[in-house]
């Protein structure tokens, strides 16, 4: 079902843009980029080896994958069909997991919630309000499970900000500290992004 849902209550998730099940029937090479915002994939079948922002990832059935802000991805489907549930949502105040925690094994609860989320998203018989409340509740439960207590990070931004805009804000801070050495980890912290995404923000701006 097309359209953008907006939550009726305060939430770090501003909009839920897409929920779908994608099937790639053949073992082929691919190149793509994740959409703006956050993107979750629940792999239901197949075997894929890919590179995302320099990370080499091996994906198999039962894996839950998190992408963020237009990450370039390329790889190959080793075993087809490759089938996954995809969820795209906007939450500019929510930082993604660290690079080494972008792929996890989905718990039975997370997998069940994402399948239920797909069913709710596609259920034209629900009222808009009920569909909206159910969808956001399910997604937030998955996000909480993916990011357990102690790993949740929030961005200092209060709304959607382009990568280049993030960089110029950080550069303004860094220019006031020209006598201090600058480390990539500190730049990433200031942008609220991963180190690789902070590099992309610099490139986008310059």
Report pLDDT digits (tens) over 33-70: 889 889 999 999 999 999 987 789 999 999 999 998 88
pLDDT tens digit sequence for 132-173: 899 999 999 999 888 765 444 554 433 334 566 677 777 777
Give the CA diameter of the chain. Answer: 62
Residue 5 has which token pair? 């849902």
**In the numeric block, which tokens belong to residue 139?**
């997604």
pLDDT per residue as tens digits for the range 62-109: 999 999 888 889 999 999 999 999 999 998 878 788 888 899 999 999
Tokens of 177: 């500290």
CA–CA dist 55, 173 (Å, integer): 29
| Three state DSSP letters for the chain | CCCCECCCCCCCCCEEEEEEEEEECCCCEEEEECCCCEEEEEEEEEEEEEEECCEEEEEECCEEEEEECCCEEEEEEEEEEEEEEEEEEECCCECCCCHHHCEEECCHHHHHHHHHHHHHHHCCCCCHHHHHHHHHHHHHHHHHHHCCCCCCCECCCCCCCCHHHHHHHHHHHHHCCCCCCCCHHHHHHHHCCCHHHHHHHHHHHC
CB 139 within 8 A of CB 16: yes
Across 44-48, 76-80, 125-129, 174-178, least confident range: 174-178
- The answer to whether 163 and 201 have CB atoms below 8 angstroms apart is yes
Cα separation, 172 vs 175, in Å, equals 5
Q: What is the pTM of this model?
A: 0.72
CB atoms within 10 A of CB 98: 12
């Amino acid at each position: 079902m097309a359209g953008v849902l907006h939550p009726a209550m305060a939430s770090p998730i501003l909009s839920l843009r897409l929920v779908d099940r994608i099937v790639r029937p053949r073992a082929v090479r691919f190149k793509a980029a994740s959409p703006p915002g956050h993107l979750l994939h629940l792999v239901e079948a197949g075997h894929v080896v890919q590179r995302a922002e320099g990370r080499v990832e091996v994906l198999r059935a039962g894996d839950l994958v998190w992408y963020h802000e237009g990450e370039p991805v390329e790889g190959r489907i080793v075993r087809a069909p490759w089938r996954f549930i995809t969820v795209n949502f906007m939450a500019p105040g929510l930082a993604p997991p660290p690079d080494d925690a972008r792929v996890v094994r989905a718990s039975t609860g997370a997998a069940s919630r994402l399948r239920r989320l797909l069913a709710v998203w596609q259920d034209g018989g629900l009222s808009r309000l009920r569909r909206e409340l159910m969808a956001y509740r399910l997604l937030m439960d998955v996000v909480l499970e993916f990011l357990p207590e102690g790993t949740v990070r929030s961005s200092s931004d209060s709304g959607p900000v382009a990568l280049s805009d993030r960089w110029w804000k950080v550069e303004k801070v860094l220019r006031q500290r020209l006598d201090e050495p600058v480390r990539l980890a500190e730049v990433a912290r200031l942008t609220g992004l991963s180190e690789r995404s902070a590099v992309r923000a610099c490139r986008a701006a310059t």
